[in-house]
Amino acid sequence: MIRLHLGCGRSRLNGWINCDLFPGDNVDRVFDVQQGGWPFPDNSVNEIYASHLLEHLTDFETFFAEAWRVMKPLSG
């Protein structure tokens, strides 16, 4: 199961891939969520957690397009 914690900053969630724009002790993957080409394959992510991130975005379209691309489709 792949679970992304986007915009983690200094907060680490165990069992999640902690992602941020800037490197740090608690960051597993560094990338800009407002750029295309997130470093995850299509349909590979089970959950996304992004607390206190959306209010900092200027490019919602790219963010949500990439989130849609990487998320696994709902089954059932």
How confident is residue 74, by pLDDT bands cut at 50, 70 and 90? confident
Q: CA–CA distance from 34 to each of 5, 14, 53, 65 (Å)?
A: 15, 24, 11, 10
Band (76; pLDDT cuts 50, 70, 90): low
Question: pLDDT tens across 8-62, in order?
Answer: 999 999 999 999 999 999 999 999 999 999 999 999 999 999 999 999 999 999 9
Cα distance between residue 45 and residue 28, in whole Å: 15
What is the pLDDT confidence band of residue 75, given thresholds at 50, 70 and 90? confident
